């Protein structure tokens, strides 16, 4: 049960004093090979810190950031048949050479996004990953199979079990599940059927003994955790952005320029003035008040109200993420009763006519999460 840092632009130092983060998912988008090599050197002495390389070929025709500078990035990507196993084998071999040269011991399999993900597409990914595992094992590199799962698809009745049946055939040591939603990047996941389907998928994989690392995770970690996922990765951008296609069309950093505070009592992000409103009502959770970065933000706002706290906001959220995972694991944070309290608190705010800055920041997703959790528990995987 571990938490990883999903690397963003120059974000490695954010977790310097967060022991709950046991490793990082390296990004070839933000860093070129030299920059990643520097991170590998920096962490070489931290024996319990694990680096995982995500090749990020989700949209292979998109040469975002530094991606095009990497050796494994296919030069024929605009003309290649991406449905050809042999083409992927070439990418896999080059990827393993790159990862071995960096001295990284774990890699996510390359996988690209598709508008629909039928059964044979998952089978194709399982077979490509099998070849990657063969190549990786010769270099003592472990593989996580990347599984892009479209949330609208797992809302269909049998789809989670069908997908899990294929994915559980993986030759990799675990799965790196990336849930892909179609909502706006800033919106919380709020479709009960989709959430329930994702939970059923995670639970079925857990029952099959397949370890799952949920990548690009946000506060919905509470649901994935309830469903039995083992590991999670989040990053600074996931306080306000998530894995959607638009995330890959825009410049990195476009959505993260305002400071946000993650408030566990409401399971939401608060803008600066929202934080003042909630704080004045003494509605901040004990977890938030104990969050060392939260304490710094509140102190700074008291001493110097005009000072920016965006970086502290990232860290406040990331600390919450690791801390919440640990408390759920230890049994000191009960998800179901916590969501009930969060919903009651939103009702109390509404009755007191306390409104958040953003029109959609109204807590409506908490009901969807509660329903997903309750209904999932009734039926199980």
The distance from CA 120 to its chain's CA centroid, rounded to whole angstroms, is: 25
> CB of 151 within 8 A of CB of 181?
yes
381 binds another protein (CB under 8 A): yes
The 8 Å CB, 24+ separation contacts for 245-254 are 245/59, 245/113, 245/180, 246/184, 246/185, 247/185, 248/58, 248/59, 248/62, 248/64, 249/62, 252/8, 252/9, 252/29, 252/30, 252/64, 252/65, 253/9
Which residue in 13, 71, 83, 123 binds another protein (CB under 8 A)?
123
165 binds another protein (CB under 8 A): yes
> CB of 281 within 8 A of CB of 352?
yes
**In the complex, least distance from residue 204 CB atom to another protein, rounded to whole angstroms:** 5
> In the range 199-218, which residues lie near another protein by CB under 8 A?
204-205, 207-210
350 binds another protein (CB under 8 A): no
Which residue in 35, 37, 155, 161 binds another protein (CB under 8 A)?
161
- In the bound state with another protein, the residue whose beta carbon lies nearer, of 60 and 381, is 381
224 binds another protein (CB under 8 A): no
Cα 364-369-374 angle, rounded to 5 deg: 130
122 binds another protein (CB under 8 A): yes
- In the bound state with another protein, the residue whose beta carbon lies nearer, of 127 and 272, is 127
366 binds another protein (CB under 8 A): no
Give the C-alpha separation, 13 to 166, whole Å. Answer: 38
Distances (CA, A) of 239 to 35, 66, 315, 341, 362: 24, 23, 10, 21, 16
The region of 13-21, 27-35, 160-168, 353-361 touching another protein under the rule CB under 8 A is 160-168
> In the range 283-312, which residues lie near another protein by CB under 8 A?
none
- In the bound state with another protein, the residue whose beta carbon lies nearer, of 81 and 158, is 158
The region of 157-165, 213-221, 281-289, 323-331 touching another protein under the rule CB under 8 A is 157-165
**In the complex, least distance from residue 214 CB atom to another protein, rounded to whole angstroms:** 17
Tally DSSP H helices, then E strands, for the chain. 14, 10
**In the complex, least distance from residue 113 CB atom to another protein, rounded to whole angstroms:** 19
> CB of 58 within 8 A of CB of 113?
yes
Closest CA to 230 of 255, 212, 205: 212
Which residue in 136, 164, 198, 373 binds another protein (CB under 8 A)?
164
Q: How many residues belong to the site for another protein (CB under 8 A)? A: 20
Q: Identify the DSSP state of 358.
A: S
> In the range 168-197, which residues lie near another protein by CB under 8 A?
168-169
Give the C-alpha separation, 72 to 91, whole Å. Answer: 6
Tokens standing for residue 172:
């990799």
**In the complex, least distance from residue 206 CB atom to another protein, rounded to whole angstroms:** 10
Query: Which residue has tokens 């967060």?
Result: 18
The region of 116-124, 253-261, 280-288, 354-362 touching another protein under the rule CB under 8 A is 116-124
The region of 2-10, 156-164, 259-267, 306-314 touching another protein under the rule CB under 8 A is 156-164
Helix (H, G, I), strand (E, B) or coil at 154: helix
**In the complex, least distance from residue 163 CB atom to another protein, rounded to whole angstroms:** 9
- In the bound state with another protein, the residue whose beta carbon lies nearer, of 189 and 201, is 201
- In the bound state with another protein, the residue whose beta carbon lies nearer, of 13 and 123, is 123
88 binds another protein (CB under 8 A): no
* Residue 257 CB-density burial (10 A; 0-12 exposed, 13-18 middle, 19+ buried): exposed
How many CB atoms are located within 10 Å of the residue 168 CB? 15
The region of 33-41, 100-108, 137-145, 158-166 touching another protein under the rule CB under 8 A is 158-166
Cα 366-372-375 angle, rounded to 5 deg: 135
Site for another protein, rule CB under 8 A: 119-120, 122-123, 158, 161-162, 164-169, 204-205, 207-210, 381
């Amino acid at each position: 049960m571990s938490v990883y840092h999903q690397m963003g632009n120059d974000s490695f130092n954010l977790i310097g004093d967060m022991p709950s983060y046991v490793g990082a998912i390296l990004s070839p988008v933000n860093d070129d090979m030299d920059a990643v090599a520097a991170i590998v050197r920096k962490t070489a002495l931290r024996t319990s810190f694990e680096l995982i390389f995500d090749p990020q070929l989700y949209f292979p025709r998109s040469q975002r950031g530094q991606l095009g500078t990497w050796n494994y990035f296919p030069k024929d990507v605009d003309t290649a048949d991406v449905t050809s196993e042999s083409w992927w084998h070439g990418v896999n071999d080059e990827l393993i050479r790159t990862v071995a040269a960096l001295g990284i011991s774990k890699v996510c399999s390359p996988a690209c996004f598709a508008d629909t993900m039928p059964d044979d597409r998952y089978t194709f990914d399982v077979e490509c990953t099998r070849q990657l595992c063969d190549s990786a094992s010769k270099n003592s590199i472990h593989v996580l199979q990347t599984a892009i799962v479209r949330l609208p698809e797992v809302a269909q009745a049998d789809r989670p079990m069908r997908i899990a049946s294929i994915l559980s055939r993986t030759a990799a040591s675990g799965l790196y599940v990336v849930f892909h939603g179609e909502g706006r990047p800033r919106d919380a996941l709020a479709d009960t059927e989709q959430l329930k389907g994702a939970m059923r998928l995670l639970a079925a994989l857990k029952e099959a003994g397949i370890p799952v690392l949920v990548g690009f995770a946000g506060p919905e970690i509470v649901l994935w955790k309830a469903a039995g996922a083992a590991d999670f990765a989040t990053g600074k951008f996931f306080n306000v952005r998530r894995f959607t296609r638009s995330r890959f069309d825009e410049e990195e950093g476009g959505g993260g320029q305002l400071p946000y505070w993650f408030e566990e009592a409401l399971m939401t992000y608060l803008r600066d003035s929202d934080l003042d409103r909630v704080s004045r009502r003494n509605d901040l959770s004990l977890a938030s008040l104990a969050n060392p970065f939260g304490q710094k933000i509140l102190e700074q706002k008291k001493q110097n109200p005009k000072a920016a706290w965006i970086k502290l906001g990232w860290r406040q959220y990331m600390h919450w993420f690791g801390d919440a995972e640990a408390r759920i694991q230890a049994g000191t944070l009960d998800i179901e009763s916590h969501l009930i309290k969060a919903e009651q608190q939103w009702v109390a705010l509404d009755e007191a006519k306390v409104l958040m800055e953003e029109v959609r920041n109204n807590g409506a997703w908490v009901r969807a999460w509660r329903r997903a959790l309750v209904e999932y528990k009734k039926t199980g995987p």
